[in-house]
Structure 1
């Protein structure tokens, strides 16, 4: 009985090994290739539990999901001779596992081939457009062109390119610095031009204001001179009329004005002859000892004569 149990156990183990070697599972995210001594015997794309010849046939699994393609940053030259550091990425799917296995064997080799092809497509397509096109609405068309060219190359690997996008497109560091320097110079030139125009306008405004000021002052001086002349004319006319009415009183008034101006300070000292014309109204109203004749018509209006002065007078 012990021998039978051992034989049965061995048989179960052998059957289990045969079953595990003969059965394999394909999931929803996989597709499988059954190979025999390196040659592909069949392709399994339907998910489920599958059979194979144990210990002779082997299974190679291929992913059927959408996979990422992330090549390194590539520097390209645009048609307007601008340089760009382009960071692009793609999405691909393995549609023909047999062709994929025969061409590249695994995903690592496939991604290396696709990365080189994507960079080549980027250089060719972007080399025919300008920087403005890359930054405008034409970018979608450019991406479609790159994807179409990459798809043509990927079909020979049994791969379909689902999408291609540019993550970033930046100017190289040295180009950015040169552009910033040029922009700074341009802004400084515009600022200097604006300052020069402002100074020119300010000078024009100052010149115009100075000219208007000169004209206003000249007109004011002209009007002032005219008014002053008219006033002087009226004053002379009035003085002439007043003098004509009473010449002696006017002479007396002029003498008083002369006295006030000559003797207006306390330290003024004059040594004059009392018989001089300057003192004609001092003393008894005579000049040089002789009485001044007065017209009868003006004697009533004549002011009284000042007190007599000594023969030699000193006025202080």
Structure 2
């Protein structure tokens, strides 16, 4: 009985090992990818390699388990965006430029030999895009760079990048300049200018309002004086009363708490006749 159990364990072990070897030796290749089979790190063959107009090689491929590995790469078009690339224009403007690149891997073996892994491709593209943007756009003015196609520079940028990425097994299909913005220093300068303009406009509005208020007060005072002068001729006694009331208000309206005003007037003064019922 014990021998039978030991025999069954050995059979189960070899069955599991066979399943593991079979699973590690089969690679499923989708239509949208190409697979490089590398043996001990060296590419030996490619499944479903891209060929313009060629048939699809998708399906099941075999490899040696544990000795060969499958490296999956995209077969179709891929996009890469490089944002906020610093460029100094020909008229000494610091700009931030966004670039969009469309590419295809046409030589997967070369890419694996150069980079080892497709995950490193974006980093290489970012470095190359920064170099060619600086080289091609630096002679142009900021206004030319901001134009659609950057004043005709886009085809030259695509050709420059394509010539450099061919060494990586990559074909650049399209290159576009996206957003173009002033750099941090230029944005701060523009903000300072706008803030200064806003403050000047606010001062001008306040000055106009003060001048308008003064003009209105002067006009009202003139109209009031005219009315009072006209009234004085019709009723001199009321005008004398109004003048006495105004002078009293002027003296005692806003007294100084420390030094309150006082008036010393004889009882028979004409100044008080209006307040004595006379």
Alignment TM class, shorter chain as reference: 0.5 to 0.7
Tell whether 2:116 aligns with 1:109. Answer: no
Matched ranges for 1:125-274 at <5 A: 125-137=136-148, 139=150, 141-176=152-187, 178=189, 181=193
- TM-score normalised over the length of structure 2: 0.57
CA distance in 2, matches of 1:52, 1:137: 49
CA RMSD of aligned residues (A): 3.0
* Aligned with 2:16 (options 13, 18, 24): 13
* Aligned with 2:77 (options 63, 66, 70): 66
1:90 Cα shift?
Answer: 2.0
The gaps in structure 1 that reach 5 residues or longer are 189-316
1:30 Cα shift?
Answer: 1.8
Instruction: Answer with 1 or 2: which has the greater Rg.
Output: 1
Q: Specify the SS of the correspondent of 2:71.
A: strand
Question: How many residues in Structure 1 have an aligned counterpart in Structure 2?
Answer: 185
1:128-177 deviation line (CA, Å, top 9, x unaligned): 22223223355272222111111111110011223222221111243245
Q: Which residue of 1 aligns with 2:35?
A: 32
1:79 Cα shift?
Answer: 1.8
* Aligned with 2:100 (options 83, 89, 93): 89
- TM-score normalised over the length of structure 1: 0.51
1:21-72 deviation line (CA, Å, top 9, x unaligned): 2211111222111122222221112211111223322222222243332334
1:115 Cα shift?
Answer: 0.6
CA distance in 2, matches of 1:178, 1:114: 32
Higher relative contact order (CA 8 A, sep 6+): 2
Residues 33 and 92 (structure 1 numbering): CA distance in 2 closer, same or farther, change over 3 Å? same
CA distance in 1, matches of 2:184, 2:69: 52
The gaps in structure 2 that reach 5 residues or longer are 49-56, 201-278
